[in-house]
Amino acid sequence: MDDDALSDNRRLWDRWTEINAGSDFYDVASFRDGRRPIRLADYEREEIGPVEVKTLLHLQCHFGLDTLSWARLGARVTGADFSEAGIAMARELATEVDLPATFVIANLYDLPTALDGEFDIVYTSRGVLGWLPDLDGWARVAAHFVKPGGFFYITEIHPVAQVFEGEGVKPGELRLIYPYWSHQESLRFDVKGSYADPTASTDGLVEHGWNHSLGEMVTALIDAGLRIDFLHEFDFVEWPVEFLVDGGDGRWRLPPGTKGELPLFFSVKATKPLIG
């Protein structure tokens, strides 16, 4: 990965951690005081099943809200992220809510040199793949940490939803402008605020992103030695998107009355076969 792009993205995530941690979108206060003790979607809890006493590694864990939600459900959790600010906040939060958790700072591609062990579940979710230039390398890292007989799980925005203009468009206005398949050169944007607080100041910060197709992602997981158990597609995104409308349930969908359909989110579970 290009070092400049990596540093730009890390700088951005350090600042976004500060902004996001104080935002209504994440509402950390309700996680702390137990009003909203679990910040996970119902479908992912169902698809993953019981996690009690299982070891769970959360890749790209941000400041640990989802990681600690799994801990509240009984998993023995480890979270990893390249943002020092994110991991510092995750450790602080774990102490405050008195949950055991290990948090590791590392670029995703370097994680096998920073962390030992294999896990029953390797989990990653919501806004992760677009930061990664190399999907095959990502899949190898994910598979590396799955115990034989254990599984990898991802829930993420659908790559089809990533090809449309997301700024200055109206609900239902689908303007095809971005690549669907993996590309070498990053998509570079000047950042305005954070997805959790668009009004926050982020002057001078830039973002580098990469799109990847669904087929490339599934093939990368298979090539890394995992067996796909399911691939589910959903008709919503779990954060605001300008060409969608707010369903009032924490999900954004195509406007009512839209002709035709689009997949907007997906989940994949993939098992590492037992050897021998």
Enumerate binding residues for ligand SAM (CB under 6 A).
9, 13, 60, 62, 65-66, 81-83, 86, 107-108, 125-128, 131
Given the complex with ligand SAM, which of 148 and 250 has the nearer CB atom?
250
The least CB distance from residue 170 to ligand SAM, in Å, is 25
Report the nearest approach of ligand SAM to the CB of residue 255 (Å).
Answer: 25
- Least Å distance, CB 276 to ligand SAM, is 33
- Beta carbons within 10 angstroms of residue 20's beta carbon: 22
Measured CA to CA, the distance from residue 65 to residue 12 in angstroms comes to: 19
Is 113 or 274 the residue whose CB approaches ligand SAM more closely?
Answer: 113
Task: Give the nearer residue to ligand SAM in terms of CB position, either 125 or 162.
Answer: 125
- Least Å distance, CB 195 to ligand SAM, is 8
Contacts of 67 (CB under 8 A, 6+ apart): 56, 58, 61, 77, 78, 79, 90, 101, 103
17: part of which helix (H) or strand (E)?
Answer: helix 3-21
Residues in CB range of 263: below 8 A, 6 or more apart: 158, 160, 161, 233, 234, 235
Tell me the residue nearest to ligand SAM as measured from the CB: 127
Query: Helix 84-96 and helix 65-72: axis angle, to 10°?
Result: 30
Q: Which is nearer to ligand SAM, 66 or 216 (CB)?
A: 66
